[in-house]
Chains A and B, each alone.
Chain A
Amino acid sequence: MSRVASWRAAVVLAALAALPALPFMSKYYLLLAFDALLFGAIAMSLDLLIGYTGLVSFGHAAFFGLGSYATAILLERGVLSFWACLGFAVVVVGLYALMVSYFSTARRGIYFALLTLVFAEVVFTFFRYTQTFGGSDGIQGVPPPQLVPGVTLDTPLANYYLVLVFLALAYLVCRTVVTSHFGKVLVAIRENEDRARFLGYNVQRYKMAVCMLSALLTGLGGAIYPGRSAFATPDLMLWTVSGEFIIMVMIGGLGTLAGPVIGGAFFIVLQEKVSSYVDWYFIVIGLVLIFIVLFMPKGLLGFRRLLGFKQWRATA
């Protein structure tokens, strides 16, 4: 990681760590901030696929939902260890991601997108109609997990710092990936995968690896969600949720790490604020998206250029 990027990230994280100290940060705003950072981190991990590798996944909600269910299932059965929940989520999401990425990366373009969508719909339908996991109601009212015996993550503040640590670690992982040789190969695949092949790269293996990584980060995000919401429902896996993840990436800026985090946070705050006034909030979000695509194709982060800030590199 470059020194400038490290400093910039450290300053932003320090500011986010200090955020709860602000006088207006009520429980409501802490929960809103939790969602903003969580979905920002998920958008960032999705951008490894969309922005860096050129693979549009329409099934990321399934990874998120499976992670949530993994945690909720253990918590419901009295296994309260946060680390056990994370471990179980990694296994469940990892196995599912292995299958999805194996088959999906064998195809390009729209076929990849469709395969990820179809797999996700299968998982959604399974949980929607399986009463063992609560059917359409999902698993409700799960107890909060314990970081260590006696330390329960049961306050908005504790959950906020948990998601902040998750965001920081996810950023570190993503930053390490995109600045490595592996990350350059991903960009090469995005630009032209045949060229990457004749240079000696096993393109499908690289695509599978980045799919797995992106899925696991998203799944881990899902795994910490029930600690805040106390539920896991099939609706978390709906294709519209996958669409929202893509919108977050596009709002923030493709091919950047900070952009999708900003996009995710922007989306969540906009959705929350607009929906508190009107039911048809998605029309407003749709209009915002149309505006961004038409006039800010590089997203909110790219818009900085128009304001005279230093250009952010698409590959860093």
Chain B
Amino acid sequence: MLRMAEVHAGYGATPILFGVSLEVRAGEAVALLGKNGMGKTTLMKTAMGFLKPWRGTIEFDGRDLTRLTPHQIARLGVGLVPENRRIFPGLTVRENLELGLSAVADRSAAVRRRRLEEVFHHFPRLSERIDQPGKTLSGGEQQMLAIARVMMAGAKIILMDEPTQGLAPAFIRHIRDMIGELKRLGVTVLLVEQNARMALSVCDRGYIMEKGLIVFEAVSSELRESPVIREKLGV
């Protein structure tokens, strides 16, 4: 589904990614682990088209993403849940969610209502806050909203950038369950996380990233037992 091969990218003249290769197959949940400053967020930005790769290829469902703009990539079905819960704070929960319908041609009231009902089935707490501005939600609720917004779009793959950062344990469990639910619904997930324990408990496979390179790859069960995880991530 999403395949990156030998991707080099950076900011200005400063290289950050030094030939990253990874693959996320349809229906999988894949964890991308690594300490701060290893290039995980840069990789996400490159996949979404905010940074153009210097070299290498990025394909989604066989389509080359490297020449597409972020909005074109999003419209192909690539959803991003950015770090720090980037919702639109001045808009209500409903308005935030309806903004997720960019790729949906039919935005009639009936379609909006049906999609909202589907999302509220997974996030009932959001339905209680539907007319509240996003900025009045707690951190965990804002994260739910960011995920729900991508679900509204019917994304085929969701790239999540540290969704549990700064959240209380109860919300972390909820996010983990949500990722499991997304898998069950057939949505593919690429999860960038520092919380390796949580990520590997829900993902099928994992990559470890260090200094702009993928240094280890394994299925989750193997990765959990591997000494590499302690060595590279200190957990």
Contacts and interface: CB of A to CB of B under 8 A. Distances in A.
Contacts of A315: 90-91, 95
Interface stretch (A146-154, A180-188, A234-242): A180-188
Contacts of B91: 184, 187-188, 191, 315
A52 B149 CA distance: 21
A22 interface: no
Most buried by A among B70, B82, B100: B70
A102 interface: no
A195 B91 CA distance: 13
Interface string A208-239: 00000000000000000000000000000000
B103 interface: yes
Given A181-B107, A194-B50, A199 B89 contact: no
A197 B98 CA distance: 15
A198 B50 CA distance: 9
Chain B interface helix/strand/loop/mixed:
loop
Interface residues of A, number: 19
B3 interface: no
B52 to A, nearest CB: 14
Given A187-B91, A188-B88, 19 more contacts: A181-B101, A185-B99, A188-B91, A188-B99, A191-B88, A191-B89, A191-B91, A192-B86, A192-B88, A195-B82, A195-B88, A197-B50, A197-B69, A197-B70, A198-B48, A199-B100, A199-B149, A201-B71, A315-B95
B90 A191 contact: yes
In the A-B complex, the 8 residue pairs with the smallest Cβ-Cβ separation, listed nearest first, are A200-B102, A200-B74, A197-B70, A198-B80, A200-B75, A191-B88, A200-B103, A202-B71
Contacts of B71: 197-203
A200 B86 contact: no
Given A187-B91, A314-B90, A199 B74 contact: yes
A195 B86 CA distance: 7
Contacts of B82: 195, 198
Nearest to A194: B50
A201 B91 CA distance: 16
Contacts of A203: 71
B182 interface: no
B153 interface: yes
Contacts of B86: 192, 195
A198 B88 CA distance: 13
Interface in A162-210: 181, 184-185, 187-188, 191-192, 194-203
